[in-house]
Amino acid sequence: MKKKKKVIYLSISIILILFSIIISFNYFKQKNKDLENKAFSWDNVSLYFVMTDRFYDGNKSNNNSYGRVGVDSKGSTVGTFHGGDIKGLTKKLKEGYFSDLGINAIWITSPVEQIHGFISGDSNGSFAHYGYHGYYALDWTSIDKNMGTVQEMREFVDLAHSNGIRVVLDVVINHTGFSTLKDMSDYDFSPIKNDTVDISSWTPSETENFDTYNKTIVDYSGHKEEWDKWWGPDWIRAGLPGYTPGGTNDINMNLSGLPDIKTESTNPVDIPPILKTKWIKDSTEKNNKWIIPSAEKYRENLDIAPSEYIIKWLSAWVEEFGIDGFRCDTAKHIDMYRWQELKEESNKALKTWRENNPNKPGAKWIDDFWMTGEVFGQGIEKNEYYANGFDSIINFKFPKGDSLDSLEEIYSEYDDKINSDPSFNILSYISSHDTGLTRGNMINLGTKLILSPGGIEIYYGDESNRKASTNTITTAKDQPSRSDMNWDTLDQTVLSHWQKLGQFRSNHISIGAGTHKKLQDSPYIFSRTYTKNTINDKVIIATNLSGETTINVSSIWENSTSIRDFYTGKKYTVKDNKITVNADINGVVLLEKVDK
């Protein structure tokens, strides 16, 4: 009898466990579906810009791909790959880091295969500089092995989509990466002065520096037949034998000395010699795990112009993974019509991906492919870029001081210029990889940026008060802002503030895309309202509050309406057109309507 009871109890226990598992599975499945289908507009985008290599190392086995080193021979790490990869991004997605910050789009540095070797990082040859940042492209049809595999990229994008997060790639059309000794060795072109030098593994001796090879090894004035095996004069401008030299205008200059792709050319060309050699080697080395499947049809002579090849290669990433947008590097250095061509090809590719993957997260989304661009120095001005494929341009002129005294001046101007025109938007930021880290009162800076009308960009670590690199081996201005993500020293006070603001923005499309209206000067209180299609979203926000404050909310809500301060979680009921709130120590109140 006892044995029979034990069997019954065991059976009941198993049934209850299975029932619990089913309930939990359905709960999380529905939760993900809710996130995926959350109301979204690029006009209210909170775009997290992550330098993938410096963010999180999810797979240490790929850290030294192509023979790269983490520490150069002079002991510096300032320009080396640090290990961050796509798998690391996926891990942080699973942990909820981006969702907790209210992020609805992630911009990752270009994941295309970069030059394999290093160049001199500065004029003094102080450090080895690799293409860890994604701006030294070698092959647009492959993912860089340091970043991960095609399958890892697919998993990242699918998981982001299931969390309602769009994925934006940094793209480069203007230039290729520099020539390096390693690439010469790997792809069989040797314009060198001394055949006894092993260019596959050269590093400077104690009496040399990282610029020495430019002076004593590489022949930049001869060996035309060897340089012809590189990109070739039909593809790029460079100060090399047989190549067209760089010009003096934005389109034909060698920006920062980089090999300039002849983007303005309409002449049909063959595949560049280096890629012909590389693609044969890819086959013998069985590099299929890193070749973008949708790009394989473009890895042959298409008899089209250089820009047209790159546009097809980039659109293949969209067709393969369902990429949602591009951040276009050096936008003013390419003819406008080329950007329009990229937009059109990418839109087609995104539609193809959605048709081919009807059951994947994001396949039911209806927003068009999105493009923002880097036009260095541009602010909130609408110009010809918006008529040539761009939905947004990065706003270099967003005020970066940490005072909140001029918020109304900023917000009212941005609202007047941006949200009154449905075809115009910007992407405001406080820090970037090119212009440095803005630091100060990070509570105020978070308030100022995240509550701004229009799109916003959060540079990785702004939300955690990441410090600049203290490497003193070089004075190179860009490097300090690209320090490793400070996972071990997150500023929890700052992070918590940014998370609350970010989630509130994510929950309310009116923050970025709605109409701004000042309600009170001191303390500063304003409303944002958005009424479009089936969405009717209204909020009231106050800053610089202290203690108990009475707010007139009659312009937004009626008496007896239940209101919550999202920042503190406190609830109030409108009475006599007012509510009396108790602000947190940071002085921010985020009011929203809730069910009673």
Full pLDDT tens readout for the chain, 596 residues: 556 656 666 667 677 666 655 554 554 455 566 888 898 999 999 999 999 999 999 999 999 999 999 999 999 999 999 999 999 999 999 999 999 999 999 999 999 999 999 999 998 999 999 999 999 999 999 999 999 999 999 999 999 999 999 999 999 999 999 999 999 999 999 999 988 899 999 999 999 999 999 999 999 999 999 999 999 999 999 999 999 999 999 999 999 999 999 999 999 999 999 999 999 999 999 999 999 999 999 999 999 999 999 999 999 999 999 999 999 999 999 999 999 999 999 999 999 999 999 999 999 999 999 999 999 999 999 999 999 999 999 999 999 999 999 999 999 999 999 988 999 999 999 999 999 999 999 999 999 999 999 999 999 999 999 999 887 666 667 889 999 999 999 999 999 999 999 999 999 999 999 999 999 999 999 999 999 988 999 999 999 999 899 999 999 999 999 999 999 999 999 999 999 999 999 999 999 999 87
Q: By three-state DSSP, how is residue 15 classified? A: helix
Residue 436 DSSP class: B
Pairing of strands 325-328, 166-171: parallel
Residues 6+ apart with CB under 8 A from 15: none
Contact status, residue 527 vs residue 415, Cβ threshold 8 Å = no
- What the block records as the tokens of 506 is 């994510």
Q: Verify that 501 and 521 share a domain, yes or no.
A: no
Q: Give the pLDDT of residue 16.
A: 63
Q: Verify that 449 and 574 share a domain, yes or no.
A: no
Between CA 320 and CA 353 the distance in angstroms is 7
- How many independent structural domains does the chain possess? 3
Between CA 394 and CA 372 the distance in angstroms is 7
Q: Give the pLDDT of residue 27.
A: 43
By the 10 Å C-beta count (0-12 exposed, 13-18 middle, 19+ buried), 220 is classed as middle
Q: By three-state DSSP, how is residue 112 classified? A: strand
Between CA 522 and CA 237 the distance in angstroms is 58
Q: Verify that 508 and 405 share a domain, yes or no.
A: yes
Concatenated DSSP letters of 63-92 = TTGGG--SS-TTS--TTS-----HHHHHHH
Between CA 530 and CA 511 the distance in angstroms is 8
Q: Which amino acid is at 85?
A: D
Tell me whether residue 261 is in a domain: no
Q: How many CA atoms lie within 13 A of 490 on its CB side?
A: 13
**Cα dist from 320 to 105, 287, 293, whole Å:** 18, 17, 7
- What the block records as the tokens of 487 is 């996972």
Cis peptide before 259 (omega within 30 of 0): no
Q: Verify that 32 and 81 share a domain, yes or no.
A: no
Q: Verify that 521 and 508 share a domain, yes or no.
A: no
Is 374 among the residues known to form the active site? yes
Between CA 24 and CA 450 the distance in angstroms is 34
Q: Verify that 16 and 132 share a domain, yes or no.
A: no
Q: Verify that 420 and 536 share a domain, yes or no.
A: no
Instruction: State the helix-helix crossing angle for 336-356 and 306-321, rounded to 10 degrees.
Output: 30
Query: What is the chain's Cα-based Rg?
Result: 27
Last residue of a domain, one of 483, 512, 541: 512
Q: Verify that 336 and 446 share a domain, yes or no.
A: yes
Catalytic residue among 329, 415, 484, 565: 329
Q: What CATH number did the domain enclosing 561 receive?
A: 2.60.40.1180
Tell me whether residue 324 is in a domain: yes
Catalytic residue among 308, 374, 463, 592: 374
Between CA 480 and CA 265 the distance in angstroms is 37
Q: What CATH number did the domain enclosing 336 receive?
A: 3.20.20.80
Between CA 86 and CA 93 the distance in angstroms is 11
Residues 291, 228, 144, CA angle at the centre, nearest 5°?
20
Helices first, then strands: H and E counts in the chain: 14, 22
In which order are the strands placed within the sheet that holds 515-520? 515-520, 525-532, 535-542, 589-593, 562-565, 571-573
Instruction: State the helix-helix crossing angle for 150-162 and 306-321, rounded to 10 degrees.
Output: 60
Tell me whether residue 299 is in a domain: no
- What the block records as the tokens of 357 is 């993957």
Q: Give the pLDDT of residue 23.
A: 56
Residues 6+ apart with CB under 8 A from 407: 448, 451, 524, 543
Between CA 482 and CA 469 the distance in angstroms is 7
Closest among 390, 322, 323 to 358, alpha carbons compared: 322
| Structural domain of 25 | 1-36
Tell me whether residue 418 is in a domain: yes
Q: Verify that 23 and 97 share a domain, yes or no.
A: no
Q: Which amino acid is at 238?
A: A
Tell me whether residue 108 is in a domain: yes
Alpha carbon 150 to its chain centroid, in Å, reads 18
Q: What is the pTM of this model?
A: 0.94
* DSSP bridge partners of 328: 171, 373
Between CA 348 and CA 312 the distance in angstroms is 11
Is 384 among the residues known to form the active site? no
Q: Give the pLDDT of residue 596.
A: 75
Q: Give the pLDDT of residue 310.
A: 98
Tell me whether residue 227 is in a domain: no
Q: Which residue has the tokens 């880091």?
A: 97
Tell me whether residue 254 is in a domain: no
